[in-house]
Chain A
Amino acid sequence: EVQLVESGGNLVQPGGSLRLSCAASGFTFSSYEMNWVRQTPGRGLEWVSYISSSGTPIYYADSVKGRFTISRDNAKNSLYLQMNSLRVEDTAVYYCVRDNRQWRWDYWGQGTLVTVSS
């Protein structure tokens, strides 16, 4: 059974940093591209970042470019999102998502809540 389990969400002050992790199991992690997608009540669902199965190429949404860094460790079956210079508008539930060819997202984690507030 495919499982994606996110962790690392928390309350952080504006300008702070946070690192999200996603533990994958039930499939050959190193064969799949992965993404982070976030959701807020106000802005809905928003793609955040993509990483290929090998680690490059990597893409970011304009809203997080230069502040967020996606990475993966195929030996540990894990995906990461380093988030720096956090803003109030980064408050969201962040989902780890498996990519089954060209932005077709067939498995999602349960999500982890990031709250940016003073």
Chain B
Amino acid sequence: DIQMTQSPSSLSASVGDRVTITCRASQSISNYLNWYQQKPGKAPKLLIYDASSLQGGVPSRFSGSGSGTDFTLTISSLQPEDLAFYYCQQSYTTPSFGPGTKVHI
């Protein structure tokens, strides 16, 4: 099974800040990496697929990069509505998630 890790586990930032979250896979997964946002009390929402493709309707301040084992999710200018947990998920094989990153505003 492929293990996913994320860092940091939580972060605090101000409105307008650039925020970066890192995800690492235990083995190469090419670009089969998705990012989800989960707001309190809600289901996860797909933000980024195939490591860097923006899902329809997602603001352009969200972007993703990476391939192989190391990936990043970047929020270019943090907004109050971005308060959430963020999860990476590998889709290379039997899917698995990272433990999540909590973003505080």
Which residue numbers of A lie inside 8 Å of B, CB to CB? 44-47, 59, 61, 95, 102-106, 108-111
Docked-complex contact A104 and B94, CB < 8 angstroms: no
Give me the 9 closest cross-chain CB pairs, A-B, nearest first.
A103-B91, A108-B43, A45-B97, A103-B95, A47-B95, A104-B49, A106-B46, A102-B91, A44-B99
Task: Work out how many contacts link A and B, with CB atoms closer than 8 A.
Answer: 45
Known pairs A105-B34, A106-B55; A44 contacts B97 (CB<8 A): yes
Docked-complex contact A103 and B89, CB < 8 angstroms: yes
Per-residue contact bits, chain B 93-105, to A (CB 8 Å; 1 contact, 0 not): 0111101100000
Known pairs A103-B89, A104-B34, A105-B34; A47 contacts B44 (CB<8 A): no
Query: Nearest Cβ distance between residue B47 and chain A, in whole angstroms?
Result: 11
Partner of A46, one of B42, B44, B97: B97
Determine the distance from Cα of A60 to Cα of B32 in the docked complex, in whole angstroms: 20
The number of residues on chain B lying at the interface, defined by a beta carbon within 8 Å of a beta carbon of chain A, is 20
Per-residue contact bits, chain B 62-98, to A (CB 8 Å; 1 contact, 0 not): 0000000000000000000000000101010011110
Per-residue contact bits, chain B 17-45, to A (CB 8 Å; 1 contact, 0 not): 00000000000000010101000001111
Query: Nearest Cβ distance between residue B9 and chain A, in whole angstroms?
Result: 11
A-B contact pairs, 19 of them (CB 8 A): A44-B100, A45-B44, A45-B87, A47-B94, A59-B94, A95-B44, A102-B91, A103-B34, A103-B89, A104-B46, A105-B36, A105-B44, A106-B49, A106-B55, A108-B43, A108-B44, A109-B43, A110-B42, A110-B43
Query: Nearest Cβ distance between residue B60 and chain A, in whole angstroms?
Result: 18
* Interface hub of A59, A95, A108 (most chain B Cβ within 10 A): A108
Determine the distance from Cα of A103 to Cα of B97 in the docked complex, in whole angstroms: 11
Docked-complex contact B87 and A104, CB < 8 angstroms: no
Residues of B with C-beta under 8 A to A104: 34, 46, 49-50, 91
